[in-house]
Amino acid sequence: AQSVSQHNHHVILSEAASLELGCNYSYGGTVNLFWYVQYPGQHLQLLLKYFSGDPLVKGIKGFEAEFIKSKFSFNLRKPSVQWSDTAEYFCAASSGNTPLVFGKGTRLSVIA
């Protein structure tokens, strides 16, 4: 079965630190990739998406992600996190015409 793995369950960073959250998928062939964010008590919001083209994707709020096909990875990055980035982050993937499959999420805590 197709799957999405997020290796970090909980990440704690100080403000201004750089962020990288890992995401690996098990699909072969063409894949659509997504990162979503869920702030405490809120619904999921789309941060960025990759369908094709430039493997470095820029999203909202200063986030970016890099698609590395050879590694089946789509890691999320931000150069300098803020307290307001405290949230849970979900990677998702879809191949062909299948619905999205979500990873289990990574909780990010940013401390002052």
Give me the least distance between CB of 98 and other proteins, in Å please: 6
Which residue's CB is nearer to other proteins, number 9 or number 69?
Answer: 9
Contact 87, 23 (CB under 8 A): no
Q: Using CB under 8 A, list all residues that contact other proteins.
A: 6, 32, 34, 42-46, 49, 90, 94-105
Give me the least distance between CB of 66 and other proteins, in Å please: 19
Which residue's CB is nearer to other proteins, number 10 or number 71?
Answer: 10
Say if residue 88 is exposed, middle or buried (CB neighbours under 10 Å; 0-12, 13-18, 19+). Answer: middle
Say how far apart CA 37 and CA 45 lie, in whole Å.
5
